[in-house]
Amino acid sequence: MADGRVRLAAGLMGNAASLLLYAAPILTFYRVIRKRSTEEFSCVPYIIALWNCFLYTWYGLPVVSCGWENFSLVTINGLGILLELSFIIIYFWFASAGGKASYI
Statement: residue 104 has pLDDT above 70: no
User: Is the CA virtual torsion 79, 80, 83, 85 positive or negative?
Assistant: negative
Q: What is the C-alpha to C-alpha distance for residues 95 and 44, in angstroms, rounded to an integer?
A: 13
Q: Percent of the chain having pLDDT more than 90? A: 62
Q: Does position 40 have pLDDT exceeding 90, yes or no?
A: no
Q: How many CB atoms lie within 10 A of CB 24?
A: 10
Per domain, the residue ranges of the chain are 2-101
Q: Does domain 2-101 have CATH number 1.20.1280.290?
A: yes
Span 32-45, mean pLDDT? Answer: 92
**CA 93 to CA 100: how far, in whole Å?**
9
Distance from C-alpha of 14 to C-alpha of 41, rounded to nearest angstrom: 28
- Whether the CB-CB separation of 43 and 92 falls below 8 Å is answered with yes
Q: How confident is the model at residue 80 (pLDDT cuts 50, 70, 90)?
A: very high
The chain-wide mean pLDDT, for the chain, equals 89
